[in-house]
Structure 1
Amino acid sequence: MALHGMIFDVDGTLVDTNQAHVEAWRRAFKRLGYEVPRERIELEIGKGGDLLVPSILGDDAEKRHGDALRKAQKEAFLEIASRERFRVFPWVPELFHALRQRGIRTALATSSDRKHLQATCDSAGIDLPSLADVLVTKADVEASKPEPDVVIVAWEKLKLGPAECAMVGDTVYDAQACRAAGVVFLGVTSGGTPEDVLLEAGACGVWRDTGHLYSDLDHAIETAPSCTEEPVR
């Protein structure tokens, strides 16, 4: 079946924000009395906060401090976003325009809420929602990645089936969500996850970043729907 929809993760895929999220979580944990190494937090980036906290601290800490930690992380991230200028990865507007020219509808699918997303856009100087046909945020789903909800809602909003869509993301949690939703996963290493890890997680192909994907777009579009054991390079 031909590809008619492309779903995009935001953090680490379109905008270079993963380390800002790591730092925001580090500050949040410290505020509540937990010393968590950055390296441990990095392993969980890509998950929603509802799953990240118990994964790192356990269920007891989640019950005691989960909501407070997520609130503190949000405040810390907004502060970081207000002070820093996030980098947009190469050729993002051009990539969305090229997809539209080819008749492929696009969606943003993020585990963040709208306030986080707006802060990211303001810091990066780009209006991401205006580039895409539909937007899916934390408010639209019951469970965050790696659960498939955000991907399922995206293809539903696009009024397409899962076999007609692919998703571009930067973490194994994107890959897991895609696999559970029945959507082809296209990986980018711009978020810090190595190519071999993304391929092992089920990526149909892996590119360095959005600029690399843009330069190889027709090949990716042609190959993704019939993703075989040979990954797209």
Structure 2
Amino acid sequence: MINLHDNYDGLVFDMDGTLADTMPTHFTAWSRSMAMHGIVFPEERFYALGGVPAGVIVDMLAKEQGKTVDADAVAEAKEELFLELLKDVQPILPVKAIAEFHREHIPMAIATGSPKWVAEKILKALGIYDWFGAVVGADDVEYPKPAPDTYLRAAELIGVDPKRCHAFEDTELGMQAARNAGMTVININTLL
């Protein structure tokens, strides 16, 4: 097991695709909700935009494809569909093991591109919600990922200097956000 609390004061985890294997379920929800509005969202593009808030994605794709939609309503419908599929979500075991090992020794937080209420439901469904001192969603900051604000707010809420945090991420945009916050980034794809 990687013992991080000797060198760092806090751990901050992305959630979707990092701590929880939500990405396939999110893609299913995205595909169905976007199809209802005639918007195509290729799987490769979906993974490239990991961590970007849903409303921003809907607005971007609608404009690119010449569609007019209520981005917030489409994003909300996508989240509701995702929650219906939540029973299918499993933890990413190597990352969960790291969090479990450190949970009583070092402050930990979640910094996610999902809305906070969705993140909390996922963490509760996985039985790990109480492991984290803070959950920061895209709706908690003015500038979500790839801006560093989500990570900076998470570190602030657990009372740790961002430069003394390890951040766990699975996407390039998320890693960029954590690096810009001054954190040491662990690409979880190297752990799998």
| TM-score normalised by the chain length of structure 2 | 0.84
For residues 23 and 64 of structure 1, the distance between their equivalents in structure 2, rounded to whole angstroms, comes to: 20
Tell me if 1:165 matches 2:168.
no
Aligned 8 A contact 1:50 1:144 in 2: no
For residues 166 and 135 of structure 2, the distance between their equivalents in structure 1, rounded to whole angstroms, comes to: 15
| TM-score normalised by the chain length of structure 1 | 0.70
Aligned 8 A contact 1:51 1:144 in 2: no
Change (3 A) 1:61 1:110: farther
Tell me if 1:99 matches 2:102.
yes
Task: Tell me the CA shift for residue 61 of structure 1.
Answer: 6.2
Name the structure, 1 or 2, with higher relative contact order (CA <8 Å, separation 6+). 2
Task: Tell me the CA shift for residue 91 of structure 1.
Answer: 5.2
Change (3 A) 1:50 1:86: same
Counterpart position of 1:135 = 135
For residues 120 and 134 of structure 2, the distance between their equivalents in structure 1, rounded to whole angstroms, comes to: 15
The RMSD of aligned alpha carbons is 2.5
Is the deviation greater in 3-12 or in 108-117?
108-117
Counterpart position of 2:191 = 207
Task: Tell me the CA shift for residue 89 of structure 1.
Answer: 1.8
Change (3 A) 1:63 1:141: farther
Rg: which structure is higher? 1
Counterpart position of 1:18 = 23
Aligned 8 A contact 2:116 2:135 in 1: no
Structure 1, unaligned stretches of length 5 or more? Answer: 190-205, 209-233
Task: Tell me the CA shift for residue 62 of structure 1.
Answer: 8.4
Count of residue pairs brought into register by the alignment: 187
Structure 2, unaligned stretches of length 5 or more? Answer: 1-5
* Overall identity of the aligned pairs, in %: 28
Counterpart position of 1:73 = 78
* One-letter identity of the residue aligned with 2:134: V
